[in-house]
Amino acid sequence: MQFMRFINFLLIIPKCLPYLCYFCLRPNQSVFKMKKLFLVVFSCLCFQNLKAQSLTFGLSDYTILAKKPAGILHGISGIEYITAKKQWHLASDRGNYFIFDSISNIRDFENRQNLAISKKTGYWFEAIRFDPKYSTFLYAVENEYKPNNETNDTTTYVSYYDSFPPAYLIPPMHLPADNKGIEAIAVTDSGAVWIAPEAGWQGETEFGNDTIHFWKFDRKNSGYSEAIPYTYVIDRSGCPLSTTEKRGGISEILAVKENQLLVLERCYDEKVSKKIKAKLWQVTVDGATLKKDPAPAFDFNDNFPFVVDNLEGMAWWPGDNEKRQILLVTDDNPGLKNSQRTQLILLKEK
């Protein structure tokens, strides 16, 4: 990593040579003007560093698991890797929780599922995260918008657990819209937590209102700060004819740096293409706003080798390589009547 940074530094120097020559060849340079020279070089370095912060990804690998009822990985909505234990944790939106050891490639999830630790929790998970700095486990739950034969619970919330008893980061609230609760959590290296609603909080979910809010919670020794809101412009143009999906949806987020996130947006175009439309965006804090890059970091509908399904979970793939990788998982939804299958997709930084 340090060697590559040194090489990148050397590559910047030729771009600054015209400015260096201009200042060095002019006669009677004062100390003040030499300070300007330093500022020019510094500006070049900063500009190059800002450019390097934009991430783009390419498809590295994928696998499609067996159709229900074969196997155990169904309805997966949350995924996380715990480095200290070298474990993958996967959670479903119907309360199932799985722990995998010794995963070296994405096909091992299917090949080793008989060896996975499996638990039934009762929680309808939508996101799971682990903060290694404070050894804190966080999870988002989304129940139903209206009571039905599966549950009478109509709430969505975020909890965390670092010692007994667990606590709420966001207490239970009624779902802001049908099938639109809280689905996305990101944890930064400092322990700060970002939370994104799927389509906005109460009063933000309707078609025509594109501005919603992410909440950031800074980590304190005794817990977390009050929520700090950041505006975000969600894409509601992907599935405009759909009854519920016209609102768009944020299904997961990942921390890149303290003030940078990857945001996974997707919707199901039930009326026209009958396909999922999905894009991965990098966003950066700009004042009280999360600003999207001009182009997505990855577009799942741009020459993708198969029809992507209901993208739900996202986590960094382990490794010390210069190019980072992301593992994504799809939710094949409840019931045996649909033909959906769990997909595992590995993206690699370009």
State the SS3 of 172-200.
EEECCECCECEEEEEECCCCCEEEEECCC
Per-residue pLDDT of 284-293, as tens digits, reads 999 999 999 9
Q: Report residue 249 as tokens.
A: 């949806």
Mean pLDDT value of segment 175-197? 97
Burial of 111 (0-12, 13-18, 19+ CB in 10 A): exposed
Per-residue pLDDT of 88-100, as tens digits, reads 999 999 999 999 9
**127, pLDDT greater than 90:** yes
The partner residues of 262 in beta bridges, in order of sequence, read 254, 282
**23, pLDDT greater than 60:** no
Residue in 58, 83, 131, 132 with CA at minimum distance from that of residue 320: 83
Q: What are the domain boundaries of the chain?
A: 2-50, 55-349
256 or 26, greater pLDDT: 256
Provide the pLDDT confidence category of residue 319 given band limits of 50, 70 and 90.
Answer: confident
Q: What is the mean pLDDT of the chain?
A: 88
CB 178 within 8 A of CB 185: no
Give the integer Cα–Cα distance in Å for 225 and 143: 26
pLDDT reported for residue 9: 42
What's the CATH code, domain 55-349? 2.120.10
**227, pLDDT greater than 60:** yes
Nearest-Å Rg of the Cα atoms of the chain is 23
Give the integer Cα–Cα distance in Å for 73 and 57: 26
Give the integer Cα–Cα distance in Å for 80 and 87: 8
